[in-house]
């Protein structure tokens, strides 16, 4: 029963944070969402019957300590101002100077360690977008703009949007369980509204980056290792309460944010969390282990609605408040410790915002299959992106890129691979450069001038602009498995790795079918390595196999058509696949999303160096046909290829990439499921 409920909840919870592939200790912040509620779901009945201390222990065990990100906000109606007993035995009013500022804007912004949810607990100037629909960048769900909170144009403040969870929604039920757990049944605080907080992708990225930073710090101190910091950065479920001075979440105003300084909830949604000024020198953000504790510290004189943020927090290493506080080795400060030594009241320490300054990346050839998806990924990760196309005035060819501007800061430049200096402007000021563009024309009668020379000259022109820029820290070049696997090798079961190169002499002299492409990729990569060594450029080359999967481009990419030829029944492309296997020894495939993730992973991985093969599946035409025939009998996939070899001659190995720490998301099942769904949306296959 609980398992069924949990699965329903997971499906109902959009905007889930995803683990970052990046471990960058220089980044000091991150933010995410409440995405895994298993511990609360499976044990909520037990918690409701247990004592407060037991409740705190169970929740904290499931939710390690975090930097703050919220995913729901609960709004409560005002109740009578009354005294309640604090956890330390003192009588206190519902007001307290501890959290009265409700995320005051003057303090340093907390952009890295919190992720939230909000239940709402009167009126002001409000602003709202138009009535057009918008799509959440994280969950992909569409909402009416009139029901989405407006976000300031300041890039740093683009953190959260909200939508309302209706009565009966599974996500709302879970939030209600969490908020009521540990509350005094006699208080009967009315829960008015539950809002879903949609964290921007850069917030999610910062959250995971901060987690990695905490884990790295923990690994550097093996004698005093904190197992929770080492495991997950010490992530916790925590609560943060503030006032609501406007009508946010009410039926009269919808979900528009006000611009009043006295409204703590809207201020947090617009600007993020900030340090409390009233305690220990603005040391950090106050969070509690139960909702009751958080609400108890909201100033009673507000006598307005109250907002309770349900947050994931990367608490990291926690320092006890009653001990000397003399160094910066801690991430959080424990204000009150319970009987089980759990931090019941916690200050999450703030960071200098200079550590979260955006990096700028240039993607060369941005309109292509791989490059456009790479642009999207970089924007989602919080980068500023410059990209190049041959003709920026051709609106039809760059329409899919223009749509990505809603994700972040994207500039589109005109540049030509054969024109030296044309990449100076887009690369100027960039931290990273991804050279993805390459001329492809399999029908060319003159591969030497149509593909090989432009590819080699293009690499040189891009790298020369990198040298001029003097800001580029790393260049990532997209090569190809065709630059590795084409050799006159005998036998079977061969393994090709980054030490192997395709035989350029064989390609030049024998000129097998499509010889121009593998020769152009091989010579271009070798040229890049020579220039990089001579000019002290930090170069990484990614060597992907045949890529397929959903594309942003208006036309179906040729590689997707080739990879799915057995399904579509395109005889010309099926023969091309057979020719590829005869030439390279196998059919090696990867999902385009994994290829893009590998590019960014290696760009950000400090220890990365050299060449990296990116291949998820090694197979043959015959083996692939049998698999697809079984999986998609409705498409009548051919399986009889006469005397054609039944098994691949070799494999291309991604061992170096995976040892570096990269994990493939997609196997052959998922690769073809997504490719088939994509072809259906393009009208190439019957639904």
Distance CA 95, CA 262 (A): 15
- Residue 561 is predicted with a pLDDT of 95
Closest CA to 374 of 597, 204, 545: 597
At 648, give phi and psi (nearest 5°). Answer: -70, 145
> Does 684 score more than 70 pLDDT?
yes
Q: Are strands 343-349 and 332-337 parallel, antiparallel or unpaired?
A: antiparallel
**Domain-embedded: residue 146:** no
Establish how many alpha carbons lie within 13 A of residue 470's alpha carbon, considering only the half-sphere containing its beta carbon.
1
- Residue 141 is predicted with a pLDDT of 47
314 and 375 housed in the same domain: no
Tell me the pLDDT tens digit for each residue of 185-200. 655 567 788 888 887 7
292 and 190 housed in the same domain: yes
**Domain-embedded: residue 42:** no
State the angle between helix axes of 38-49 and 170-180 in degrees (0 to 180), rounded to the nearest 10: 40
Q: How far apart are the first and last CA of the chain?
A: 34
Write out the two tokens for 356: 């979260």
**Domain-embedded: residue 597:** yes
Boundary-marking domain end, from 349, 376, 401: 349
Question: For residues 644 and 678, is the Cβ–Cβ distance under 8 A?
Answer: no
Distance CA 279, CA 621 (A): 68
**Domain-embedded: residue 41:** no
Q: Which of 4-8, 372-376, 653-657 has the lowest mean pLDDT?
A: 4-8
* DSSP codes joined into one string, 345-377: EEEEEP--GGGGPPPEEEEETTTSHHHHHHHHH
Tell me the pLDDT tens digit for each residue of 249-288. 776 556 778 888 788 888 888 777 765 543 433 456 778 8
306 and 400 housed in the same domain: no
Boundary-marking domain end, from 349, 378, 401: 349
313 and 446 housed in the same domain: no
Q: Is the pTM of this model over 0.85?
A: no
Q: What's the number of domains the chain is made of?
A: 2
- Residue 394 is predicted with a pLDDT of 92
Mean pLDDT of the chain: 74
**Range of 191's domain?**
68-76+160-349
User: In this structure, what CATH number is given to the domain that contains residue 176?
Assistant: 3.90.228.10
Q: What is the mean pLDDT of residues 85-98?
A: 30
**Domain-embedded: residue 246:** yes
Closest CA to 483 of 593, 369, 615: 615
504 and 629 housed in the same domain: yes
**Domain-embedded: residue 493:** yes
Kind and range of the H or E run holding 18: none
Distance CA 255, CA 249 (A): 5
Which three-class secondary structure state does DSSP give residue 399?
Answer: helix
272 and 223 housed in the same domain: yes
pLDDT band at 380; cut points 50, 70, 90: confident
- Residue 447 is predicted with a pLDDT of 84
* DSSP codes joined into one string, 299-328: -GGG-SEEEEEEEEEE--SEEETTS---SS
438 and 338 housed in the same domain: no
Tell me the pLDDT tens digit for each residue of 216-250. 778 776 666 778 888 888 888 888 888 888 888 77
- Residue 275 is predicted with a pLDDT of 59
**Domain-embedded: residue 203:** yes
Q: Which residues pair with 162 in a beta bridge?
A: 197
Write out the two tokens for 103: 């995320």
> Does 289 score more than 70 pLDDT?
yes
Which three-class secondary structure state does DSSP give residue 525?
Answer: helix
624 and 572 housed in the same domain: yes
Q: Are strands 343-349 and 109-110 parallel, antiparallel or unpaired?
A: unpaired
Distance CA 310, CA 324 (A): 30
Tell me the pLDDT tens digit for each residue of 630-657. 999 999 999 999 888 888 888 999 999 9
Distance CA 408, CA 202 (A): 9
472 and 497 housed in the same domain: yes
Q: Which residues pair with 307 in a beta bridge?
A: 75, 242
260 and 338 housed in the same domain: yes
> Does 453 score more than 90 pLDDT?
yes
At 216, give phi and psi (nearest 5°). Answer: -65, -45
Write out the two tokens for 675: 């490719």
Distance CA 393, CA 391 (A): 5
Question: For residues 147 and 266, is the Cβ–Cβ distance under 8 A?
Answer: no
* Alpha helix ranges (H) inside 144-290: 170-180, 201-219, 227-232, 264-271
Between residues 103 and 318, which one has the greater pLDDT?
318
Boundary-marking domain end, from 349, 374, 392: 349
pLDDT band at 51; cut points 50, 70, 90: very low
Distance CA 510, CA 508 (A): 6
> Does 506 score more than 70 pLDDT?
yes
333 and 367 housed in the same domain: no
Strand ranges in 202-304 using DSSP code E only, listed in sequence order: 235-244, 257-258, 273-274, 284-288
330 and 453 housed in the same domain: no
Tell me the pLDDT tens digit for each residue of 124-168. 223 333 334 444 443 444 444 333 333 333 333 345 678 888 888
Question: For residues 360 and 344, is the Cβ–Cβ distance under 8 A?
Answer: no
Distance CA 461, CA 415 (A): 10
Closest CA to 366 of 297, 421, 426: 426
Tell me the pLDDT tens digit for each residue of 396-450. 999 999 999 988 899 999 999 999 999 999 999 999 999 999 888 777 788 888 8
Distances, alpha carbon 105 to alpha carbons 196, 264, 266, 272, in Å: 22, 9, 11, 8
User: In this structure, what CATH number is given to the domain that contains residue 382?
Assistant: 3.40.50.720
**Domain-embedded: residue 642:** yes
């Amino acid at each position: 029963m609980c398992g069924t409920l949990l699965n329903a909840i997971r499906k109902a919870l959009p905007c889930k944070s995803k683990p970052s592939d990046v471990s960058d200790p220089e980044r000091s912040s991150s933010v995410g969402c409440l995405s895994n509620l298993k511990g609360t779901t499976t044990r909520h009945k037990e918690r409701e019957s247990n004592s407060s201390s037991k409740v705190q222990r169970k929740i904290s065990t499931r939710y390690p300590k975090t930097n703050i990100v919220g995913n729901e906000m609960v709004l409560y109606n005002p109740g009578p101002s009354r005294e309640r007993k604090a956890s330390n035995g003192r009588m206190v009013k519902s007001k307290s100077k501890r959290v009265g500022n409700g995320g005051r804007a003057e303090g340093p912004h907390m952009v890295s360690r919190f992720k939230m949810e909000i239940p709402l607990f009167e009126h002001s100037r409000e602003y709202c977008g138009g009535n057009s629909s918008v799509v959440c960048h994280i969950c992909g769900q569409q909402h009416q703009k009139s029901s989405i909170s407006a976000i300031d144009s300041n890039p740093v403040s683009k953190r959260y949007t909200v939508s309302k969870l209706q009565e009966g929604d599974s996500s709302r039920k879970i939030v209600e369980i969490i908020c009521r757990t540990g509350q005094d049944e006699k208080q009967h605080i009315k829960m008015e509204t539950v809002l879903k907080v949609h964290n921007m992708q850069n917030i999610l990225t910062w959250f995971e980056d901060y987690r990695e930073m905490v884990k790295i710090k923990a690994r550097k101190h093996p004698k005093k290792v904190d197992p929770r910091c080492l495991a997950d950065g010490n992530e916790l479920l925590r609560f943060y309460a503030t006032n609501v001075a406007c009508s946010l979440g009410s039926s009269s105003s919808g979900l528009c944010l006000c611009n009043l300084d006295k409204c703590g909830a809207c201020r947090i949604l617009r600007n993020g969390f900030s340090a409390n000024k009233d305690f220990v020198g603005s040391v950090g953000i106050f969070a509690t282990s139960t909702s009751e504790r958080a609400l108890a510290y909201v100033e009673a004189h507000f006598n307005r609605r109250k907002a309770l943020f349900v947050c994931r927090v990367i608490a990291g290493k926690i320092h006890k408040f009653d001990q000397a506080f003399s160094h910066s080795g801690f991430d959080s400060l424990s204000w009150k410790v319970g009987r089980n030594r759990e931090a019941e009241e916690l200050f999450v320490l703030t960071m200098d915002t200079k550590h979260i300054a955006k990096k700028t990346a240039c993607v060369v050839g941005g309109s292509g299959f791989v490059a456009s998806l790479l642009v999207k990924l970089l924007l989602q990760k919080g980068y500023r992106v410059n990209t190049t196309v041959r003709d920026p005035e051709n609106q039809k060819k760059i329409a899919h890129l223009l749509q990505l501007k809603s994700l972040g800061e994207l500039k589109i430049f005109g540049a030509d691979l054969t024109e030296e200096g044309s990449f100076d402007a887009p690369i100027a000021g960039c931290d990273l450069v991804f050279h993805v563009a390459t001329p492809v024309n399999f029908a060319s009668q003159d591969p030497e001038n149509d593909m090989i020379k432009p590819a080699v000259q293009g690499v040189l022109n891009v790298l020369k602009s990198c040298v001029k820029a003097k800001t580029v820290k790393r260049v990532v070049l997209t090569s190809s498995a065709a630059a590795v696997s084409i050799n006159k090798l005998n036998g079977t079961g061969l393994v090709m790795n980054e030490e192997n190169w395709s035989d350029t002499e064989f390609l030049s002299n024998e000129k097998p079918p499509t010889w121009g492409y593998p020769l152009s990729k091989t010579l271009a990569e070798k040229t890049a390595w020579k220039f990089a060594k001579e000019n002290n450029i930090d170069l990484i080359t990614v060597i992907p196999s045949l890529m397929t999967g959903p594309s942003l481009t208006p036309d179906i990419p040729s590689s997707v058509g080739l990879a799915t030829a057995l399904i579509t029944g395109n005889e010309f492309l099926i023969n091309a696949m057979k020719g590829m296997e005869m030439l390279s020894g196998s059919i090696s495939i990867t999902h385009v999303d994994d290829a893009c993730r590998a590019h960014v992973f290696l760009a950000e991985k400090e220890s990365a160096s050299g060449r990296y093969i990116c291949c998820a599946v090694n197979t043959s035409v015959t083996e692939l046909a049998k698999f697809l025939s079984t999986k998609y009998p409705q498409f009548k996939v051919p399986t009889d290829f006469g005397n054609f070899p039944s098994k691949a001659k070799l494999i291309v190995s991604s061992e170096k990439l995976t040892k570096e720490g990269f994990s493939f998301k997609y196997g052959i099942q998922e690769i073809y499921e997504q490719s088939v769904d994509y072809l259906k949306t393009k009208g190439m296959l019957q639904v």
